[in-house]
Amino acid sequence: MIEIKGVTKKFGEITAVKGISFAVKKGEVLGFLGPNGAGKTTTMKLITGFWQADQGQVLIDGLDNVTHSKESRAKIGYLPETVPLYDEMKVYEYLRFIASIRDITPEMILPRIKEVVEICNLHSVIGKSLDELSKGYRQRVGLAQAIMHNPDILILDEPTTGLDPNQIAEIRELIKKIGKEKTVIFSTHILAEAQATCDRVVIINKGQIVAEGRPEELAQALKSQELVTLKLRAKGSEVTTALATLADLKNIKIVSEEAGLTTVTMESSARDEGVALGELLVKRAWPVCELVRGGVSLEEVFRELTK
Amino acid sequence: MQGEQHFLRSIYVLFKKELMSYFNSPIAYIYLAVFLVLGNWLFVKPFFLNGELSMRAYFTLLPWILLFMAPAITMRSWSEEKKSGTIEFLLTLPLSSWQLVLAKFAGALSFLLIGLLLSLTLPFSLNRLGDLDLGPVIGGYLGALCLGSAYLAIGLLASVMTKNQIIALITSLAICFVLFIIGQQFILVTVPVVIAKFFGFISLGARFDNITRGLVDSRDLIYYLSFSYFCLWLNVKLLEARKWQ
């Protein structure tokens, strides 16, 4: 559906994207992850044809998006980072304008607007002026704009940034709903979001792809180096020696040792969900104050990968 | 045929949006009011002292009013799209840059046309006072439309280069002013003959004077047409180059 082949884009001295390649299959929801300034927006603008790559190629349905610019642009619905709204218009005026410029036949315009309003839940604001809308509604009108012509491909640039948790949940639901039938690429810097909504995740940093895979796979890979923090009443040296006997633990470190309380951290690749560690603690009868698992989340790895 | 129809239909949709965006804000009405009040007042004030039933004085005044009016019409055309981010939407539509530019131009030109149509009250009133010679009046309006379209094309060009409306306004005002003034007599007599000839040729002003005198020469009309076309062509190129980040 979408193929990005060795794409490079430079702005003067700065290389925003360095020879990245990835593909998105039909009907897939791809999360595009990365810190700010990693090249997410640039990549999306290259896919939508707003910019042209200095090197490499973007194929939309097998067609080069430079040589077959119009055909490929017609297949894409795009929600840029700044929602493209004409503030002086009313919501229905805007939607009608979008419908006509997207070549929807006059007799289909009203039914299509009704459908889109239904999908994006815009009933309550349809008569309002766009500059009166809250951020959540602006985002939804932007989404309505992107799906108006029923495109096969949706490119959404940080669709949940700046929204409150309820609105974020709504937009995510919406993406999931739309993603059932369409190919979606959306960018975010929130990992949980990618995990919750995507079939596959691409992590980009400094213009290069640093990880790629299904969220569960990535999470699994991360779990293999889960961080465990243990706080207990025992001597530090005794604790480390005892822990070292367990094969699944690595990098055992004493973080602090004061007033008889020892805090150690370790990386666990335990497949038995920590049963061995539990047994050890019971056997030695050390009073445990705190045992925290899963200190390494997707966030940590993300930070590790994108340092 | 189908392709052409489609080409024009998209332009029409965008053009409607352009015109709507003018009239959705109060600024449009202010422009029109200022244009009409200023023009009519400056013309009518000395009119009865002159004791001459013609609109010649109006058409000497008009280029100067248009000089401010046209850049004010076009200043937000592209700048606002860039500032609000809607340019990204426009440029990722499956349309050609020519369609976008022509729609903008048609919108601006129609707005100007509305202003000129509203000012027709003037010749109609004068005609009631006596026998107004209509030749120069028609010529004058034709000239105003030609000069206006050249000004607007310059204005669009200035607007595509910046996201700041004020910079767009001042740049286009300066360019229009220079291109108008270099054809005036007091400039032409001070420069060498070769340069004077060149100035006379490229100047937007001298040709306007010809047309308002009732001398409608096709060369003058072609000049205005090609000048506007050249500016719009540059506009398309700048839009495609995306060098205005």
pLDDT number for residue B245: 46
Q: Give the residue among B82, B77, B73 at the shortest CA–CA distance from B17.
A: B77
Q: Is A24 left (phi over 0), alpha (psi -120 to 50) or beta?
A: beta
Query: Taking residues A55-65, what's their average pLDDT?
Result: 92
| Distance of alpha carbon A148 from the chain centroid | 23
Query: Taking residues A207-231, what's their average pLDDT?
Result: 77
User: Across all residues in chain A, what is the average pLDDT?
Assistant: 86
pLDDT band at A299 (very low <50, low <70, confident <90, very high): low
Q: What are the percentages of helix, strand and coil residues in chain A, rounded to 5?
A: 40, 30, 30
Measured between beta carbons, the chain A residues lying within 8 angstroms of B94 are: 69-71, 73-74
Q: Assess whether pLDDT exceeds 70 at residue A64.
A: yes
Q: Do B88 and A49 touch (CB under 8 A)?
A: no
Q: Chain A contact for B20, CB < 8 A?
A: yes
Q: Mean pLDDT check: name the lowest of A258-272, B26-40, B216-230.
A: A258-272
3-state secondary structure chain B: CHHHHHHHHHHHHHHHHHHHHHHCCCHHHHHHHHHHHHHHHHHHCCHHHHCCCCCHHHHHHHHHHHHHHHHHHHCCCCHHHHHHCHHHHHHCCCCCHHHHHHHHHHHHHHHHHHHHHHCCHHHHHHHHHCCCCHHHHHHHHHHHHHHHHHHHHHHHHHHHCCCCHHHHHHHHHHHHHHHHHCCCHHHHCCCCHHHHHHHHHHCHHHHHHHHHCCCCCHHHHHHHHHHHHHHHHHHHHHHHHCCCC
Sign of the alpha-carbon dihedral angle for A268, A274, A280, A281: positive
Residue A164 token pair: 């409150």
Sign of the alpha-carbon dihedral angle for B86, A121, A48, A196: positive
Q: Chain B contact for A291, CB < 8 A?
A: no
Beta A249-258 vs A183-188: how paired, if at all? unpaired
pLDDT number for residue A294: 63
Percentage above 90 pLDDT, chain A: 41
Q: Mean pLDDT check: name the lowest of A161-170, A182-191, A212-221, B17-26.
A: A212-221
Measured between beta carbons, the chain A residues lying within 8 angstroms of B17 are: 86, 97, 101
ipTM of the complex: 0.89
pLDDT number for residue B243: 54
Q: Do A87 and B92 touch (CB under 8 A)?
A: no
Q: Mean pLDDT check: name the lowest of A165-169, B122-126, B139-143, B159-163.
A: A165-169
The residues with which A79 forms a beta bridge, in sequence order, are A156
Q: Give the residue among B206, B172, B161 at the shortest CA–CA distance from B68.
A: B172
Task: Give the nearest chain A residue to B24 (CA atoms).
Answer: A88
Say whether A196 sits in a helix, a strand or coil. Answer: helix
What CA–CA distance (Å, rounded) separates A249 from A226?
10
pLDDT number for residue B106: 97
Q: Mean pLDDT check: name the lowest of A157-161, A247-251, B204-208, B232-236.
A: A247-251
Q: Chain B contact for A66, CB < 8 A?
A: no
pLDDT number for residue A273: 63
Q: Which of A51, A93, A101 sits opposite B242 (nearest CB)?
A: A51
Query: Taking residues A113-138, what's their average pLDDT?
Result: 93
Measured between beta carbons, the chain B residues lying within 8 angstroms of A97 are: 13, 17
DSSP state of A190: -
Q: Is A14 exposed, middle or buried (0-12, 13-18, 19+ CB in 10 A)?
A: exposed
Task: Give the nearest chain B residue to A82 (CA atoms).
Answer: B85
The sheet carrying A261-268 orders its strands as: A249-258, A261-268, A226-233, A288-292
The residues with which A32 forms a beta bridge, in sequence order, are A187, A202
User: Across all residues in chain B, what is the average pLDDT?
Assistant: 90
pLDDT number for residue A231: 85
Is residue A174 a contact partner of residue A120, using CB atoms and an 8 Å limit?
yes
What letters, b where the CB count within 10 A reaches 16 and e where it falls short, cover B132-143? beeebbebbbbb
Q: How many CA atoms lie within 13 A of B105 on its CB side?
A: 25
Instruction: Identify the helix (H) or strand (E) that includes residue A41.
Output: helix A40-48
Q: Chain B contact for A89, CB < 8 A?
A: yes
Q: Mean pLDDT check: name the lowest of A61-65, A272-276, B124-128, B206-210.
A: A272-276
pLDDT number for residue A300: 64
Q: Chain A contact for B8, CB < 8 A?
A: no
Alpha carbon distances (Å) from B161 to B80, B92, B169, B237: 12, 19, 11, 11
Which domains are delineated in chain A? 2-220 (3.40.50.300), 222-306 (3.30.70.1150)
Q: Chain A contact for B77, CB < 8 A?
A: no
pLDDT number for residue A225: 65
Alpha carbon distances (Å) from A44 to A37, A53, A153, A160, B224: 13, 11, 12, 16, 41
Q: Which of A74, A86, A103 sits opposite B86 (nearest CB)?
A: A86
Q: Assess whether pLDDT exceeds 80 at residue A162.
A: no
Query: Taking residues B208-233, what's their average pLDDT?
Result: 90
Task: Suggest the residue from A58, A61, A69, A86 to mutate for an interface test with chain B (most B CBs closer than 10 A).
Answer: A86
Q: Assess whether pLDDT exceeds 80 at residue B1.
A: no
